[in-house]
A and B are shown apart, each in its own frame.
Chain A
């Protein structure tokens, strides 16, 4: 909402300057977004008289002027304006000045070989209007030499952000009321007296839609002469960023912007029959003033006559029946439209307008007559003519809300002691009626106020929020108690573990291109936005991998040789009852070189599936998963290399993680051409340790006796997973065997075709006494027997 200081001063008697007003507006909750002063940019522009004008020796269209600034030393200025002539009084921009319209800094220069000491300016160049046909012509008696800024006077323009709860401040008058309540002046009465009615209203005005349009007031003014509106009115509208159109249109805009009261003026000659507020009919449409045709729906309120729809009620008038310079008789419409209905229609048509903004927030229902009076008297004054009686169809909702208020609440809720007298003064100044018992009656222009906390807000914001003293929150005794849940601790721990392992944490979009999401859907029905911002950000991710797989090639294309990224975040699946099921997971993408080429290590080595396995196990261990009990199984998914991927399961069904090399088709889909190793951890499936565990750990004393190791080499079927043999060996004697480590996987010479040799180092820990030969043999026999169950034969 923009308005000039002089507009404000027309309704508020105040001596405050623009700076003070701006500060006060912000502190009242009417946030200043800017204060512009067009004259501030004009201090280097002075009023000057052209003494002589000679033809430029080198250019037909230029003249060389001698210009007097009143100091006795005329300046030479080159000028191309057709109206430049001796005797003209205009505006000279001096070197150092900046032309407001284009930001050009003026300087002393030579134009076609002739020295020029400045520029005679046009209206448009100084951002004071559209005229660019010639330079500004001021009256003969304009004071030569004075600053043009002083001559036109300073009239700063305020740009105020109005919150949606304050329709009353969508008019300058409402803003003035707030300022007056805050002590910045005295609100002037509204200059509206009932205009003399000379004849009955010749048009039937009716509302057939009391729900959407409870009240529709109309009046005809005939014999008007439309044309440009007076300068004061044009200046006000320009300060609000509106282009003056014609007196009739400008007057309705002025009443809307000045008093928050939208109205519409129809050219009576273009109406036939009764003018009715009614619901739109199936198939009707309206060509609105913005030149666009809108298809209407039966829930929308319109203003129509016998010939059809003339107005999308409360939102935008129709092109057909608008006023033009030829208009002589007008029908004024001042109506009250139900806010919710206007909001629905406006949203549905995606049509924003100044009128809609006000009606949907709620205009003052008690202002219809005043608004009509304001409009009438301005039209009669500016356009002439005579007014009919006012026809009032329906009734606006005039009931005023009352609030049982307790002034103590200012302290209890607002945290500041504001005296009862001051509270009453503030509320009264804002238009509230305060009874002896503190029953507060809300003014009709404040639809936002309906409870005691709203009144606290009124009191506090006018009294000053900054005055509210800081009050410490009550604090529990002692050191702050831990508040993080086990799941939160798990997430934090795994995140830092991943970073410690050399992975960069990325945060990628929750939504993906449809194809990428589908690639990882694994049969789930995904969440797909109805109104995505782009097709690339459309489907909610079922996995974190696509986001990281998109980031990987970006990094490689930027010259990275090794990409190690991880992310912890949610995957979005379907839950019960139509809700979402958002699962926390962690993904790792390893692309490019695992080890760069090096003087000691030779050629670069790409990532392989064991790099992925190492990350998976390390992070699961940090997450507290029982990694020693996990089984390596297949079925990582179609996105993976079928022979180089696996799942890690706790029991056959509970998949805690999947890892491995990406399927080349997946890599290709993400624009990756080398081998890519990935990990996905399903953090939500990791059993969280229940309750608060004790700090004390199980008793442990390092064994006094030294552990011994024994090596075993077995021949097994080449297809046997080494992990199965290792597990069997480790479980052969749970008492004695504390570790089993596989250190060789050999195929080739000495090993029969179709078999492999697996070598395992077993660690044996004696407890009471050292192992003797017989004990060692007994254990070895158990190991061999356990291995045999896996089809393993001890190598001789």
Chain B
């Protein structure tokens, strides 16, 4: 049996020396294969006496198990070395740039309109709309600006040469206020709407463009008064700017479609030369900035809206959407809003997922 021991140690040496999985397999065949020497020894057990078998059998089985284990271990080791070598060869430079998807954006005007819709929805306002190519009855007459009214001239109106079937002059609406009339005629009362949209005036400089965006608000109900108007505007501006220190200054003013009429200033503080909304405009580094026109809806306008002014009263307000966007998000040139410059849109625009919510705050912080 010295032969067995020797053969086993030679085989184990060979296994340890095997350089490839194929070499290990060849050793397995020569030892444990059908023609292998271990298999031959096992077969020789049959020709032995019981005593011999008693003493030799366990040795042969032990040798087989030892070599089986050694083969498996060597094979695993060699295979993982091969894998490692392959993986090493597959190394890539991950500092190279990954494929990039282009980033899109939502225009600030759209974003702010969504914010306004969200805020006002919480106060029970729906969003209404009307045509931008209006007739002069809806844009002026029904808003208590008869033909010779001086306020018509103040509006820098764009006219079309066309008249509608009723002989009314067609024009580009100078404000979103005609939606008041259309909403009353269509929806009756009570009513709570906001109406954002494009409006047009024949005016152009750094802060005026011939096209801009306004938002109109209208509440018609019973017992609505100036106090409600004040609360609504305060509540809206506090929610929009997400600041509790919003301070309003109400000034008597004049709009043909409201009576009494109120112009609304908001206090700001100068910080690094920029106007930041909040605080009192009477503070040392503060000032007042006109942000809204408003008032109690003129009785004649309610009548033009098909409602009885002895039964219904309410308030209306209007403000510039672009202006609100500039105040909140810090743009300083209105003309850039309408230029379609992807660099500007990428900088001032908003992500697709920046959907305004009340729980998350309607504004998007930078």
Binding site for B on A (CB under 8 A): 26-29, 31, 163-166, 339-340, 343-344, 347, 360-361, 411-416, 448, 451, 453-454, 456-457, 460-461, 465-466, 468-476, 480-485, 488, 492, 495-511, 527-533, 537, 540, 547-548, 550-552, 554-555, 558, 560, 562-566, 568-570, 572, 577-580, 582, 598-601
Q: Are B339 and A528 in contact (CB under 8 A)?
A: no
B273 at the binding interface (Cβ < 8 Å): no
Q: Are B249 and A466 in contact (CB under 8 A)?
A: yes
- The stretch of B19-27, B33-41, B121-129 that contacts the partner chain: B121-129
Which single member of A472, A531, A550, A563 contacts B159 (CB below 8 Å)?
A531
Q: Are B104 and A503 in contact (CB under 8 A)?
A: yes
B90 at the binding interface (Cβ < 8 Å): no
> In the complex, A415→B219 CA distance in Å?
15
Q: Are A505 and B150 in contact (CB under 8 A)?
A: no
Q: Collect the chain B residues with CB atoms within 8 Å of residue A416's CB.
A: 226-227
Q: Are A537 and B231 in contact (CB under 8 A)?
A: no
Q: A504-B105, A579-B135 are in contact. Are A600 and B99 (CB under 8 A)?
A: yes
Which single member of A340, A500, A510, A531 contacts B198 (CB below 8 Å)?
A510
Within 8 A of A (CB), among B119-144: 121-127, 131-133, 135
> In the complex, A504→B350 CA distance in Å?
9
> In the complex, A481→B122 CA distance in Å?
8
Q: Collect the chain B residues with CB atoms within 8 Å of residue A563's CB.
A: 342
Which single member of A344, A472, A498, A560 contacts B148 (CB below 8 Å)?
A344
B187 to chain A, nearest CB (A): 12
Which single member of A412, A451, A510, A600 contacts B259 (CB below 8 Å)?
A451
In the complex, besides A27-B251, A488-B127, 13 extra interface pairs with C-beta distance below 8 angstroms are A413-B226, A457-B261, A471-B231, A475-B124, A497-B352, A509-B338, A510-B198, A528-B160, A531-B158, A564-B104, A578-B163, A579-B165, A598-B97
B250 to chain A, nearest CB (A): 4
B289 to chain A, nearest CB (A): 13
B360 at the binding interface (Cβ < 8 Å): no
Q: Are A468 and B226 in contact (CB under 8 A)?
A: yes
Q: Collect the chain A residues with CB atoms within 8 Å of residue B51's CB.
A: none
Closest B residue, CB atoms, query A564: B102
Closest A residue, CB atoms, query B121: A483
Q: Are B164 and A578 in contact (CB under 8 A)?
A: yes
A616 to chain B, nearest CB (A): 16
Q: Are A530 and B159 in contact (CB under 8 A)?
A: yes
A511 to chain B, nearest CB (A): 7
Q: A502-B104, A509-B211 are in contact. Are A578 and B170 (CB under 8 A)?
A: yes
- In the A-B complex, the 3 residue pairs with the closest CB atoms: A551-B340, A415-B227, A29-B252
A354 to chain B, nearest CB (A): 14
Q: Collect the chain A residues with CB atoms within 8 Å of residue B179's CB.
A: none
A583 to chain B, nearest CB (A): 11
Q: Are B339 and A554 in contact (CB under 8 A)?
A: yes
Q: A413-B313, A537-B210 are in contact. Are A492 and B114 (CB under 8 A)?
A: yes
Closest A residue, CB atoms, query B346: A504
B154 at the binding interface (Cβ < 8 Å): yes
Q: Are A480 and B124 in contact (CB under 8 A)?
A: yes
> In the complex, A505→B228 CA distance in Å?
36
Q: Collect the chain A residues with CB atoms within 8 Å of residue B121's CB.
A: 480, 482-484
B298 at the binding interface (Cβ < 8 Å): yes
A139 to chain B, nearest CB (A): 41
> In the complex, A164→B255 CA distance in Å?
9
> In the complex, A6→B198 CA distance in Å?
46
A455 to chain B, nearest CB (A): 10
Q: Collect the chain A residues with CB atoms within 8 Å of residue B254's CB.
A: 29, 163-166, 448
B262 at the binding interface (Cβ < 8 Å): yes
B47 at the binding interface (Cβ < 8 Å): no
> In the complex, A677→B199 CA distance in Å?
31
B234 at the binding interface (Cβ < 8 Å): yes
Q: Taking chain B's interface residues, is the majority helix, strand, or loop, or is none over half, making it mixed? A: mixed
Q: Collect the chain A residues with CB atoms within 8 Å of residue B165's CB.
A: 577-579
Q: Are A500 and B352 in contact (CB under 8 A)?
A: yes
Give 15 CB contacts A-B under 8 Å. A453-B296, A469-B227, A483-B124, A488-B127, A496-B355, A505-B104, A505-B345, A527-B160, A532-B158, A565-B342, A570-B132, A572-B133, A580-B131, A580-B133, A598-B97
> In the complex, A496→B259 CA distance in Å?
40
Q: Are B259 and A453 in contact (CB under 8 A)?
A: yes
Q: Are A577 and B259 in contact (CB under 8 A)?
A: no
Interface residues contributed by chain B, number (CB under 8 Å): 93
Q: Collect the chain B residues with CB atoms within 8 Å of residue A347's CB.
A: 153
Q: Are A554 and B151 in contact (CB under 8 A)?
A: no
Within 8 A of A (CB), among B164-218: 164-166, 170, 172, 198, 200, 202-204, 210-211
B106 at the binding interface (Cβ < 8 Å): yes
Within 8 A of A (CB), among B94-114: 96-97, 99, 101-107, 109-110, 114
> In the complex, A528→B352 CA distance in Å?
35
> In the complex, A617→B351 CA distance in Å?
21
Which single member of B226, B342, B350 contacts A555 (CB below 8 Å)?
B342
Q: Are A560 and B172 in contact (CB under 8 A)?
A: no
> In the complex, A578→B136 CA distance in Å?
13
Q: Collect the chain A residues with CB atoms within 8 Å of residue B170's CB.
A: 527, 578, 580
B70 to chain A, nearest CB (A): 44
Which single member of A473, A492, A551 contacts B231 (CB below 8 Å)?
A473
Q: A165-B254, A577-B164 are in contact. Are A510 and B342 (CB under 8 A)?
A: no
Q: Collect the chain B residues with CB atoms within 8 Å of residue A552's CB.
A: 340
Q: Collect the chain A residues with CB atoms within 8 Å of residue B131's CB.
A: 579-580, 582
Closest B residue, CB atoms, query A164: B150
Closest B residue, CB atoms, query A415: B227
Q: Collect the chain B residues with CB atoms within 8 Å of residue A474's CB.
A: 221
B353 at the binding interface (Cβ < 8 Å): yes
Q: Collect the chain B residues with CB atoms within 8 Å of residue A528's CB.
A: 160-161
Q: A484-B127, A548-B340 are in contact. Are A473 and B106 (CB under 8 A)?
A: no
Q: Are B202 and A531 in contact (CB under 8 A)?
A: yes
B225 at the binding interface (Cβ < 8 Å): yes
Q: Are B341 and A473 in contact (CB under 8 A)?
A: no
Closest B residue, CB atoms, query A476: B124
> In the complex, A688→B351 CA distance in Å?
26
> In the complex, A8→B174 CA distance in Å?
37
Closest B residue, CB atoms, query A482: B121
Q: Are B132 and A510 in contact (CB under 8 A)?
A: yes
Q: Are A415 and B228 in contact (CB under 8 A)?
A: yes
B323 at the binding interface (Cβ < 8 Å): no
B240 at the binding interface (Cβ < 8 Å): no
Q: Are A599 and B97 in contact (CB under 8 A)?
A: yes
> In the complex, A65→B135 CA distance in Å?
72
Q: Collect the chain B residues with CB atoms within 8 Å of residue A558's CB.
A: 341, 343
Q: Collect the chain B residues with CB atoms within 8 Å of residue A511's CB.
A: 210-211
Closest A residue, CB atoms, query B193: A483
A577 to chain B, nearest CB (A): 4
Which single member of A482, A504, A527 contacts B345 (CB below 8 Å)?
A504
Q: Collect the chain B residues with CB atoms within 8 Å of residue A530's CB.
A: 159-161
Which single member of B122, B162, B352, B355 contacts A527 (CB below 8 Å)?
B162
Q: Are A483 and B126 in contact (CB under 8 A)?
A: yes
A17 to chain B, nearest CB (A): 16
> In the complex, A578→B167 CA distance in Å?
9
Chain B CB within 10 A, most for which of A415, A509, A598, A600 = A415
> In the complex, A339→B104 CA distance in Å?
55
> In the complex, A451→B350 CA distance in Å?
48
> In the complex, A599→B100 CA distance in Å?
12
B116 to chain A, nearest CB (A): 12
Q: Collect the chain A residues with CB atoms within 8 Å of residue B110's CB.
A: 495, 505, 507, 568
Q: Collect the chain B residues with CB atoms within 8 Å of residue A461's CB.
A: 252, 260
> In the complex, A518→B220 CA distance in Å?
43
Which single member of A505, A551, A579 contacts B105 (CB below 8 Å)?
A505
> In the complex, A505→B210 CA distance in Å?
20
Q: Collect the chain B residues with CB atoms within 8 Å of residue A411's CB.
A: 225
Q: Collect the chain B residues with CB atoms within 8 Å of residue A361's CB.
A: 150
Closest B residue, CB atoms, query A570: B132
> In the complex, A315→B317 CA distance in Å?
35
Q: Collect the chain B residues with CB atoms within 8 Å of residue A554's CB.
A: 339-341
